[in-house]
Amino acid sequence: DKKHLILVGLAGYSAYNGGIEYLGNISNEGPSGEGAALVGDAFYEGQWKEYDKHGFGVEIAPDGAAKMGEWEDDKFVKEYSD
């Protein structure tokens, strides 16, 4: 699914099928570590592992609704309150 990946030191930019634009840490396997992305119409900032949201992060939907918590393999698994 990956279209391209350009490495710039520890930070990079990636765009691939599904409408994701990413800025943050990357590894040979893709976005990993801390980063931010536009995922469709939503914005996500947090931890990544090989192109998936994985670890702590915050996702904000176009209507302003936010999910803050833990993600595993691109799935929201545990919500944290303020």
pLDDT more than 70, % of the chain: 74
pTM: 0.76
Residue 4, both tokens: 């391209």
E strands, 17-65, in order: 20-27, 30-39, 42-49, 52-60
> In the predicted model, is pLDDT for residue 7 greater than 60?
no
Please tell me the distance from the alpha carbon of residue 67 to that of residue 82, in angstroms, as a whole number: 11
Contacts for 36 with CB less than 8 Å, ≥ 6 apart: 22, 23, 24, 43, 44, 45, 46
> In the predicted model, is pLDDT for residue 9 greater than 60?
no
- Say if CB 31 and CB 37 are below 8 A apart: yes
pLDDT band per the 50, 70, 90 thresholds, residue 20? low
Mean pLDDT, residues 52-56: 94
